[in-house]
Amino acid sequence: LDVRAAREKVEIQLGNVQQFVDVLGPIAQGIEDLEASAKTKPLAKSAADKNAANKQKVVEAIRNLKTGLSTLEAEFRTKASLQKYLPSIQGITDLAGESEDSAIAGRFVAAKDPLRDVIKRLTDTQAVLPK
C-alpha cells in the first residue's frame, strides 16, 4: 500500500516538475533577455519592476517545488517499505536546491538543468516501483 501511494506521489511530482520546466523556459529566457537589455540601456521603471516581480515569483515557485520534492524524498527515507527504492530518488531535494540557488543568482535559464535531473530521477524511480 505504501508503495502504491508512493508511486502516485512520484507521478504527481514528476508532472509538477515537467510542467514547471516547460513553463520556466520562456519565462527564464525573457528575464535574462531583459536583464541583458538593461545593461545597455535603462529600462522603464514599470518593466524593471515587472521583471523583479517575475524573478521573485520564479524563485518562490522553485521553493514550492523543492518543498514537495523534499517531502517525497523524506518519505522514501523514513518508510521501511520504500527504502529499497531510495537510491533512485535520492538527491532530488539537493537538485531542487541547486535550481533555487541558480535562480537566486540570476541564472534562470541554468535553473532548469537541475530540474531536468530531478525529472530523470523521478522517471527512474517510477520505473523501479511496482505497479
- The string of DSSP letters for 108-131 reads TTTTHHHHHHHHHHHHHHHHHS--
Ranges assigned E (strand) in 23-125: none
Contacts 24+ apart (CB under 8 A), 70-76: 70/96, 72/6, 72/9, 72/10, 72/13, 75/6, 75/9, 76/6
pLDDT for res 42:
87
pLDDT for res 69:
97
| Average per-residue pLDDT for the chain | 94
**What type of residue sits at position 69?**
L
Q: Considering only residues 129 and 1, tell me which one the structure prediction assigns the higher pLDDT.
A: 129
pLDDT at 21 over 90: yes
* Stretch 18-24: mean pLDDT: 94
Eight-state DSSP code of residue 45: H
pLDDT > 70 in the chain, percent: 100
pLDDT for res 76:
96
* Stretch 56-85: mean pLDDT: 96
Confidence band of 118 (pLDDT split at 50, 70, 90): very high
pLDDT at 1 over 90: no
